[in-house]
Amino acid sequence: MLGDFDTDYTVKKWRRSGLKLLILGYIVLKNGKQKGVCLNTRKIIHIDADCFYAAIEMRDDPSLTNIPFAVGGSPSGRGVLTTCNYPARAFGVRSAMPTAQALRLCPQLKVGPVNMMKYREASKEMRRIFEKFTDLIEPLSLDEAYLDVSHSDLYQGSATHMAQTIRAEIREKLGITVSAGVSSNKFIAKVASDWNKPDGLKVVTPEEIDLFSAALPVKLIPGVGKVTAHKLERLGFQTCADLREADRNKLVRRFGSFGATLVERAWGRDDRAVNPARNRKSISVENTYAEDLENGHACFEKLSDLLVDLMLRIDKANAKNVVQKAFVKIKFNDFSSTTVEKAGTTARISDYRELLAEGLARKPLPVRLLGIGVRIETAGAEQLELHIPEGL
C-alpha cells in the first residue's frame, strides 16, 4: 500500500514539476520574445553618427570637410556650438561651447547655421535602414539608437556583420559615417560605439566583457557626469575595477539607486531591454538671447515665437493629447534658473503668460534665457529638449 501510495505520490509530484517547468519555460520564452531574448544571448548594436549635424553640412558642401567647421549660433552674441567636425576638435573645440570661445581656440573655424529639418530627415532615413534588421529599435536622439538584433536571421545571425552592413548602407544612402558598438548588453554596446570613433566598429563578445569593463574609467559609464566622476575619483575609484572593490551599501548611501547601478556597470552588467516604446517625459524649446531681456515686456514679446516652435515639436511628436503640464524656465543674468509649472493644462499662450509672470516675480533681474515646455505623463520616460541656438 505504502509503495502504491509512494508511486502515486511520485507520479503526481513529477507531473506537477513537469507542469511547473513547462509554465516556466513558456514565461521565459514569452518574456524573451517580448523583451529581446534571454539576457546572456542578447545581441545589441548601438549606432551613433559621427559629428552628426556637421557631417550633414559637409556632405552638402564638401569644401567644409577638411577645414575646422562647426554648426551653431553666431559668434557676435551668445551663440553656442551644437557640434563640430573632427579637424575642429583637434583645436579643443567642442559641442555646447560658446562660439566666441571656440573662435579664440581656433580663429580659422568656420561656423554654419543649424538646419534642423535636414537632420530630422537624415535621422528618419537612418531609422528606415535600421528597420531592415529589426523592429526592436530604441532611439536615444536624432543620431543615436540601440538595436536588439537577437531575433534576426540575417547574415546567419551575426550582429557584427549586420552592424557593418548598416554602416555601409548609411554611408552610401546618406553620405555620412556612423560608428557602431556590438555586444550582449546596452551599456557595453554604447561604450563600444565610441571606442573607434569616427567611422569605427568595436565588438565586445560576452567572454571579453569582464576584461573590457574592468579597465574602463568610471567617467565612461553613461550617467556619470563630471561631478559624479570627480566624486568617485575623490573616493579612490578611477576605473571599473576599482569600483568592483567598493562597498555597495556605501555607494547606495552616497549616490542613491544609481550607486547600485554603478556596481552593476563596473562588472559589465546591464539587463535593460531595448525598449522601442520608450516615451518622452517632456518636450521643450528654449533660447539664449544675444542681449539680456531687460524687463517683463521684452520677455512676454518672446513668448509667441517660442510657442510656435513648441507647437511644431508637439505636433511632430504626436503628443497633443497627452500634455499634462505646462512649464516655463527662466535663466536670469546672474545665471540662476527657475522653473514654474502648471498642471491640468494644454499648452495655451495664456498659461505661459501666467507662468512667466510668476517666474519673473521671483527675481528682479534681466533674463538671459527663456524656455517653455510641456510635461507628458508616460511610463519609462525620456526627455527631449530642443535648444535653439542664439540667432536662429
Q: Give pairs for 189-197: CB < 8 Å, separation 24+.
A: 189/44, 189/45, 189/46, 189/146, 190/46, 190/146, 190/222, 191/216, 191/220, 191/222, 192/46, 193/46, 193/47, 193/48, 194/48, 194/220, 197/48, 197/50
Give dist(CA 262, CA 255) in Å, integer: 9
Interface with ligand DCP by CB under 6 A: which range of 44-52, 127-135, 262-270, 284-292? 44-52
338-367 mask for ligand DCP (x: CB under 6 A)? ------------------------------
Q: Which is nearer to Mg ion, 83 or 287 (CB)?
A: 83
In the 8-state DSSP scheme, what is residue 273?
Answer: P
Cα angle, residue 332 at apex, residues 327 and 333 outer, rounded to 5°: 155
Of 93 and 323, nearer to Mg ion (C-beta) is 93
Whether 86 contacts 66, CB under 8 Å: no
Instruction: Name the minimum Å distance from CB 312 to ligand DCP.
Output: 17
DSSP string, 53-67: HHHHHHHH-GGGTTS
Return the number of the residue (50 or 309) whose C-beta is nearest ligand DCP. Answer: 50
Shortest approach of Mg ion to residue 347 CB, angstroms?
30
Positive or negative: CA dihedral 232, 237, 238, 240: negative
178 binding ligand DCP? (CB under 6 A): no
Candidates 143, 169, 351, 390; binder of Mg ion (CB under 5 A) is 143
Residues touching Mg ion, count (CB under 5 A): 4
Spell out, one character per residue from 103 to 142, where the chain touches ligand DCP: x when CB under 6 A holds, - when not.
--------------------------------------x-
- Which grid coordinates are listed for 286? 528654449
Question: Residue 25 — left, alpha, or beta (φ > 0 → left; ψ -120 to 50 → alpha)?
Answer: alpha
SS (H, E, C) 306-339: HHHHHHHHHHHCCCHHHEEEEEEEEEECCCCEEE
Assess contact for 148 and 136: CB atoms under 8 A: yes
37, 43, 47, 52: residue in contact with ligand DCP (rule CB under 6 A): 52
101 or 324: whose CB is closer to ligand DCP?
A: 101
The single residue listed with the C-alpha cell 573590457 is 212
* Closest distance of CB 82 from ligand DCP, Å: 3
In the annotation, is 144 catalytic? yes
- In the complex, the smallest distance separating the C-beta of residue 48 from Mg ion, rounded to whole angstroms, is 4
48 in contact with ligand DCP (CB under 6 A): yes
Annotate 80-149 with DSSP letters as a single string: BEEEE-HHHHTTT--TT-BHHHHHHH-TT-EEE---HHHHHHHHHHHHHHHTTT-S-EEEEETTEEEEE-
Per CB under 5 A, contacts with Mg ion among 99-138 are: none
Interacting positions 192-231 with ligand DCP (CB under 6 A): 197-198
Taking CB under 6 A as the binding criterion, the range among 31-39, 45-53, 98-106, 354-362 that sits at the site for ligand DCP is: 45-53
Name which of 120 and 250 has its Cβ closer to Mg ion. 120
Closer CB to ligand DCP, residue 83 or residue 185? 83
Active-site residue, from 57, 144, 169, 286? 144
What would the grid cell of residue 216 be?
A: 574602463
Give residues in contact with Mg ion (CB under 5 A): 48-49, 52, 143
Catalytic residues: 144
What is the contact surface with ligand DCP in residues (CB under 6 A)? 48-53, 82-83, 95-96, 141, 143-144, 197-198
